[in-house]
Amino acid sequence: MKTNFTSDGGDDRQRAAREATEWFVRLNNPLADVETRRAYQAWLMADPTHPAAMQDVTDLWGALDQPAARLAASGWHRAAAVAAPQPRKRARIGMRLAAVTMVAAVVVGVTLWRDPGLIDRAFADVATRPGERREARLADGSLAVLDGDTALTSKMVGDRRVVTLLRGRIWFDVVADRARPFIVHAGPIDVQVHGTAFEVDREAAAVTVEHGRVAVSAADANTGRGPVDLTDWQRVALQDGGSGTATPVDPEQAFAWRRGLIVVDRAPLSQVVKELDKMAPGHVLIVDPELRRLTLSGTFRADDPGAVLEALRSTLGVRTLSVPGFATLIYR
């Protein structure tokens, strides 16, 4: 598995510290598997700054047997003119360590809340940040076009080409090879093709075909529902734990994001918010749940979330409050 950490600058120590924090969170996940730990070992040996950075993160979270030894280097432990009794000194060290740990927890928590895709992107073979779109060639030559905040892994499993969509939305142009089916796992849905062009949207649990044929089925085999076959300009969305019904799509609106556009037609505000989350870093929050039922229509540039917010204010009469890169609130 290839690991691509995103980086927005800074010196090597800052980068290593950020990556070490991501690894610490990932490794403390009870579901962390052997592949994840092997990837961690590869990262650890890739740069001489990585072991020290991981050690610092481990110390910060109080995972060492003797955390006071690390605190000694900071000077926090130095005695005043009259030394305090040893138990009180240990208590102060423990309180300071607890405070530092709490701050670290808040920083990590806020970072992951602001950018929940951070971990998925860190462990993906190919990924995009919010507001970014990119093309990538998979190992078999198939083309993948990733929307903002999207992450995937790809590998060969026996005679199958298997892609796992960890998050986001992606369009594939698959190289035809009947001897090697192309499989996409995307949360609640599975897609199987031999050669075609189609889109998979994990959050919407939907598949849209541009040309060719695909078979869409529920990842949970216990639903008792068979696969849905799609062909040119058809779409299906998962419903009630199983596959729904194929419906036609408008070629002018389908895949608009690939052209750098966001097209919404009487879309509920909850759907508009999902599009906004892909357009720029930070969360978009609807303060009043009643607002989710409001609808919006229009065509917007995918790199201009401000235009969408302005349309919400002028068309729907809502108010917005934004902290760039962190959060935007929508309220009345």
pLDDT (tens digit, 0 to 9) for every residue of the chain, 332 residues total?
333 333 333 456 667 776 776 777 677 665 667 888 888 888 899 888 888 888 876 765 553 334 333 333 444 333 444 444 556 555 555 555 555 455 444 444 545 445 667 778 888 999 999 889 999 999 999 999 999 999 999 998 989 999 999 999 999 999 999 899 999 999 999 999 988 999 999 999 999 999 999 999 988 767 667 889 999 999 999 876 566 899 999 988 899 999 999 999 999 999 999 999 888 887 888 888 889 899 999 999 999 999 999 999 999 999 988 766 677 889 88
> What is the CATH code of the structural domain delimited by 125-248?
2.60.120.1440
Residues 131, 55: Cα–Cα separation, whole Å: 33
Check residue 174 and report its DSSP letter: P
The predicted pLDDT at position 52 comes to: 84
Q: Return the sign of the alpha-carbon dihedral for residues 180, 186, 189, 195.
A: negative
CA-based max dimension of the chain: 82
CATH match for 260-331 among 3.40.50.300, 3.55.50.30, 3.40.47.10, 3.30.420.480: 3.55.50.30
pTM above 0.75?
no
Answer whether 258's CB lies under 8 Å from 171's CB: yes
Torsion of CA 164, 165, 170, 172, to 10 degrees: 10
Output the pLDDT for position 273. 92
Domain boundaries, the chain: 12-121, 125-248, 260-331
Give the pLDDT of residue 248: 96
Cα dihedral 110→3→52→47 (10° resolution): -140
The DSSP call for residue 219 is S
